[in-house]
Amino acid sequence: MEDRIIRTEYSEIMQKSFIDYAMSVIVARALPDIRDGLKPVQRRTLYDMYELGIRYDRPYRKSARIVGDTMGKYHPHGDSSIYECLVVMTQDFKKAVPLVDGHGNFGNIEGDGAAAMRYTEARLSKLTQENFLEDLDKNVIDFLPNFDETEKEPSVLPVKIPNFLINGSEGIAVGMATSTPPHNLAEVIDAEIAYIKDDSLSTRDLLKYIKGPDFPTGGIVINKDELYDIYNTGSGKIRIRGKVETEKGRNGHINLVITEIPYTMIGMGIGKFMADVAELAEKKVTNDIVDISNQSSKEGIRIVIELKKDTNVENFTNLLYKKTKLEDTFGVNMLAIDNGRPETLSLKEIMRACADFQFEITTRKYQTLLKKEQEKKEIQEGLIKACNVIDLVIEILRGSKDRPMAKNCLVNGVTDGINFKSRESKAMAAQLLFTEAQADAILEMRLYKLIGLELNALIKEHEQTVANIYKYEDILESHDSMSLVIQTELLKIKKEYQRERRTVIDNRENAVYEEKPVEEADVAFIMDRFGYAKTIDVSTYEKNKETIEAEFKYSFIMKNTGKVCFFTNTGNLHTVKAMDLPQARMRDKGVPIDNISNFDTSKESIVLASSQSDLNLYRILFTTRQAMMKIVDGGEFDVSKRTVAATKLADDDEVVNVAVLHNQKTVVLRSNNGYFLRFPIDTIPEKKKIAVGVRGMRLSKNDFIKDVFYLDEMEEKCIDMSGKTLNLGHLKVTSRDTKGTKVRI
């Protein structure tokens, strides 16, 4: 037993296992093959549909049947990935040329998912059947065993067009990802033909044919001058914008109509875009929006934004480009499996790989066709020769005892045991010498083949076979002839399936939005104890001041151009612009403060909320749980960052109180064990925000500061202690950093 134990480093096993897993994901799942532009799941699904006979000119079949058959035979990775692949191959808003003809609900551009596979039906599209799968019976590609070695599956489909470019691809592997935009079929075919004619063409030369990506959703590519670098290196960023038009609206308003969207907005992006536009209005970034509606239908995209009469449409459109996904970036990384390895390919390298593949499958196709024609020629010549000596053949057949004797005579000229009418017949029979295939054809020939017309047809068929052999040999022996065959095939495909370009390729200036200056005004900030905050009109605040102070934890008047500062128990300062808060009515709920700031409700609690302008005018007093205290100039908290450290804390310490100092003269510290200490505020030193501070009260072991109170010079302030009242103004003013007095009532 001990001899069977393999001792090795755990790290080596992990490294090998991870590399094996990574290569499996890269090669066998996530990345397309440059030759057919398909991932394994796509290739297997299309091949399974072909095997099931689900052709474009036959009835649709249930998607569940296709998915189940594919999973059982070729792709044992779960039905959801197969069905999702099938759905994507039907969607004309994702694929420039859909590979599957779907029947039923296969989702839409707005992000609604497809119906369950038991409801939808599908079949191969005409293009897929004729140009992806047509030559599988001609030995043009290799077949491999499937996962359990009970079936054979193609290693690659004999695709006749550069599908990798035409339909693009997206996939995330381990440590790498592919993202190739779709292109116009006619342009890609023109570029491929040009490359086949002259393989010295550079990427710049090829870009004369391929203008750039052609997204199914249209849109405008605005960085035309950067496309050369993208296609020359195989990676980069394409900037795309939606197409915008203007119309006359109701009551003299202007309607801004979005008729095409960036490719990256497919799915939930339209809903997100509309929410972003609505947010621009809510946050008062623009006051030009009257209404927004999505009027999209099967006819196309139509998102209508109703604007006010005096709106600067160009400026508003630039706002959409800057603040929403109406202008977005498509990251290009043309990564594919080339010769078994993942490679990022330039446009020329893609054309080279596709052209080489076309020559390979065309060579194998015509080798197969030539072999079949040569076999046919052999049999035809045998039949013609037999018809010329039919009487002798019949004499051999009638004189033979069995089929092997007759065949042996026809092939080898052995006449022993055969009864002939004359010696001349026997001598002639010994000289026939047909081939094995010819002899079998003669023995199986039917008598009607001896009719004159049938014989003439056989001769004509033989002449055609000879012509085909000459043609196929010429194609195989001459590079130019084969090149011409491939070009002719590509032109035929282009003629049948070409369509107009949808995406405009241009150079556009960066969107520049001129913000209207905000008119400064007073607003009232209020926040309840649950952390929901908002701003309201000052007049509403003044009318309901008592109610607000009773129901809300924080409330104060500030400028609408200012910031609200939140000090937390962890020593952080979070700032929020007043413009980011919703301006609402008093009874509206508001927005959770953690939604618009870096405040973390699971780790922090707010100790003080104040306006930035108030902090700038006064000093701030910090008190921690361990009785550390300091005064900081409020101007130190006038920061541009959303979150900064407001104070330095020792280990296991936290802020328990932050106060803005106005007229307070003394401070009262109350510990958890019931000790009170009152001392002058001016004995606390002013320090920087990065300092820890000084000790305000001496605490016994396990004691800590529970409350902090502030008193003016002659102020009387009472607190409740176990149902009895304690007047803090009666406490004796002593020195800082003493233990204080234990109060018993």
Give the C-alpha separation, 639 to 643, whole Å: 9
Position 145, amino acid? P
* Cα 306 from chain centre: 31
> Backbone dihedral region of 718: left (phi > 0), alpha (psi from -120 to 50 degrees) or beta?
beta
Contact 558, 523 (CB under 8 A): yes
- Element spanning 247, H or E: strand 243-248
Tokens of 607: 């100790």
| 61: β partners | 122
Q: Is position 21 annotated as part of the catalytic site?
A: no
Q: Which of the following is catalytic: 10, 50, 119, 231?
A: 119
Give the C-alpha separation, 179 to 183, whole Å: 13
Look at strands 554-559 and 563-568 and give their pairing: unpaired
Find, among 95, 15, 90, 18, the residue nearest to 60 by Cα.
90
Find, among 504, 499, 550, the residue nearest to 529 by Cα.
550
Classify the C-alpha dihedral 503-507-510-516 as positive or negative. Answer: negative
Long-range contacts of 364-368 (CB under 8 A, 24+ apart): 364/138, 364/139, 364/140, 364/141, 365/135, 365/138, 365/139, 365/140, 365/158, 366/472, 366/475, 366/476, 366/482, 367/139, 367/476, 368/138, 368/139, 368/140
> At 208, phi and psi to the nearest 5?
-70, -25
Contact 206, 82 (CB under 8 A): no
> At 377, phi and psi to the nearest 5?
-60, -45
Look at strands 220-221 and 504-505 and give their pairing: parallel
Contact 457, 170 (CB under 8 A): no
| 741: β partners | 676
| 123: β partners | 101
- The residues, ordered by sequence, that sit 6+ positions from 483 with a Cβ below 8 Å of its Cβ are 196, 197
Give the C-alpha separation, 507 to 497, whole Å: 29
Contact 586, 540 (CB under 8 A): yes
| Buried residues in 72-97 as b, exposed as e (16+ CB within 10 A) | ebbbebeeeebbbbbbbbbbebbbbb
Q: Which residues are catalytic?
A: 119
